[in-house]
Structure 1
């Protein structure tokens, strides 16, 4: 029995837990939290009670506490029932917690979650474990994936609906002399997030290795953007402040086809100042607009971020093999690669995108079955500012 007693104190409700410190709830909050058949359910969206329906001076006339339920009768005769655990959590100040991601640098290899393709496509618990790894580290690896083009969509669709963009739904990155984008060249690429020039960049990316020419270069370089952001916050707080408060413009144009341009913070923060997303690609930086006395500082902030991204101590390096898939959060994990010789081997990756809300929805839905205590935590919501 988590609650021993509750009593009304005007616009507050005093809560005495069985264990722990006493707490209080807003009477108005308590009335609005009712989800009886008459008030409706917020999770389903079939909700009929609105905040405007709850008067400032609303009062409870009686409160009855039992082992698992609290029954409240309001002054207008309405009866509400609440789970005791639910009220005890909120009265104790806990409520819904925010998930804390696990940061990493070059040491990721020992912690990287690796999951078999056959298990992920057939078994929900294996899929959940891979989703948990994505939540924790922003990256996971799938192994034993058939080196066949149709396998890309087959496994990616287990994580959520595939997002179609101007580059297609599932697209091929093959080294070629007439490259349209940098991913089709053999040149080295500084770790970056994809498509920061979109108002809403891709959430999660699947890189499916079909042919890699292993041993000829093209090593994948992965960087935890949250880790390097925290390094900036510690070492150069004034530069961190610029990237989290000043808009930076990214653009992409294929004449006659598309012209994207978006201004956003490179480092996104929530209301508590926690890093929730990264948006950065040095190859897509537009000429920036800022007052003359601030432009040099902004460029130095971008330069410092680039230096941290290029530091091998902050990079997980991996030579992708045919049949491997790297799945990663494009609004947290930056990806790049070393140069390679296209005359020695063709490098062919299949790629597709899943919106982050689809991946997080899949995680929460499966967490209800396999880890209920993890289903309600607020997950970091990406590069949203």
Structure 2
């Protein structure tokens, strides 16, 4: 590590404090392999010298936003040093490196990374969602980008929102869903009609009650956001939708049974689905996914798709009962009425929800009385989050850079 030293600016010019409404870099100094930065109105903070050099996005180095990047990590030696700096321009800090290369940095960019990129904290909910859920009209979301952004904001915060006055024509399912991103085609097609049938292929085509679950956890990459478009519902004849915040359940387990929570974040659980001669999916994954900071980032849970767990694969033989106990506790919490938002979906309504956070189920209904027809399609979560960030640039720039929860990982 090189000795600490202070670097004098090339040109101090007049005071920066009165020239910009953003944050201003007042001073920079070397501290070995770190660079100390002093901002106006902020405590001093540090950045890695090597990181700062690698973050240069000039024409020579290229930029990461477009993917036309030419400077590689291997091109920046651990011994890289900052020779001088110029803070006279409040909008750009000019840095000269020991090899003569010149970089320019936005002060707000430096501060954002020095303090740490903010991570979005989801708003958890239980049966109280009725007072929080965002509702948006079909016509406004189809015609107005700001209304579309509002619905995306609701999806980000609560993982679920509702569209109203949706026409019941089949084409309108794809028309509204397409506003959020490309519709994902699966083995069930682009749009799947859920109608109760005597010869049901999947549980959604039966009239039986269904425990809240996430769809298709047996896929390496489960569906991201699901669109449930109600065509016919047989209102008040059963078939009440049951929606559960899987993140909230996970946090309850973390607080109340941390040992069982830890099992579901660490041990692989196998989910499978087979239609003979057509498809055979099988995936081993965590029920609760965590990000690098330990924050819950995704849920993968469906009691109907749990395969018989391989004892030696999942855990030592004397721990398999602990895994089952953890799955049982998650199921118990999912089924508690205080954790469920209950809604009798009406024709012309569309529930849109994050399939890697929100669990959905329903009560039983009598198919001879209640004629129930829902249309379902899904869009990958990265496409929906991309739409949110893109519109945030226009309508709420401060929201665009947050790290969003990235879903269920293997």
Q: So what's the TM-score if we normalise by structure 2?
A: 0.92
**Distance in 1 separating the partners of 2:64 and 2:113:** 17
Q: How big is the shift at 1:10?
A: 3.8
8 A Cα contact 2:238 2:370, kept in partner: no
Secondary structure of residue in 2 paired with 1:163: coil
Give runs of aligned pairs for residues 61-80 of structure 1, distance below 5 A: 61-65=83-87, 66-80=89-103
Corresponding residue number in structure 2 for 1:118: 139
Secondary structure of residue in 2 paired with 1:81: strand
Q: How big is the shift at 1:136?
A: 0.3
**Distance in 1 separating the partners of 2:215 and 2:263:** 22
Q: How big is the shift at 1:294?
A: 1.0
Q: How big is the shift at 1:203?
A: 0.5
Secondary structure of residue in 1 paired with 2:332: helix
Secondary structure of residue in 2 paired with 1:359: helix
Q: How big is the shift at 1:35?
A: 0.2
Secondary structure of residue in 1 paired with 2:28: strand
What do the CA deviations read for 1:108-145 (whole angstroms, capped 9, x no partner)? Answer: 00000000000001100000000000000000000000
**Partner residue of 2:169 out of 148, 157, 161:** 148
Instruction: Verify: 1:365 aligned to 2:390, yes or no.
Output: yes
**Partner residue of 2:318 out of 278, 289, 293:** 293
Instruction: Verify: 1:51 aligned to 2:77, yes or no.
Output: no
Q: How big is the shift at 1:12?
A: 2.2
4+ aligned runs moved over 2 Å, structure 1 = 7-12, 88-91
**Distance in 2 separating the partners of 1:50 and 1:132:** 35
**Distance in 2 separating the partners of 1:228 and 1:376:** 27
Query: Structure 1: any 5+ residue segments left out of the alignment?
Result: none
**Distance in 1 separating the partners of 2:53 and 2:258:** 43
**Distance in 1 separating the partners of 2:54 and 2:200:** 57
**Distance in 1 separating the partners of 2:118 and 2:215:** 30
Q: So what's the TM-score if we normalise by structure 1?
A: 0.98
Instruction: Verify: 1:33 aligned to 2:55, yes or no.
Output: yes
Question: RMSD of the TM alignment (CA)?
Answer: 0.9
8 A Cα contact 1:7 1:63, kept in partner: no
Corresponding residue number in structure 1 for 2:120: 99
Corresponding residue number in structure 2 for 1:333: 358
Secondary structure of residue in 2 paired with 1:340: coil
Corresponding residue number in structure 2 for 1:239: 260
8 A Cα contact 1:224 1:314, kept in partner: yes
Change (3 A) 1:3 1:350: same
Corresponding residue number in structure 2 for 1:303: 328
**Distance in 1 separating the partners of 2:80 and 2:33:** 7
Instruction: Verify: 1:24 aligned to 2:49, yes or no.
Output: no
Corresponding residue number in structure 1 for 2:283: 262
What do the CA deviations read for 1:302-339 (whole angstroms, capped 9, x no partner)? Answer: 11111111100000000000000000000000000000
**Partner residue of 1:12 out of 23, 26, 34:** 34
Q: How big is the shift at 1:5?
A: 1.4
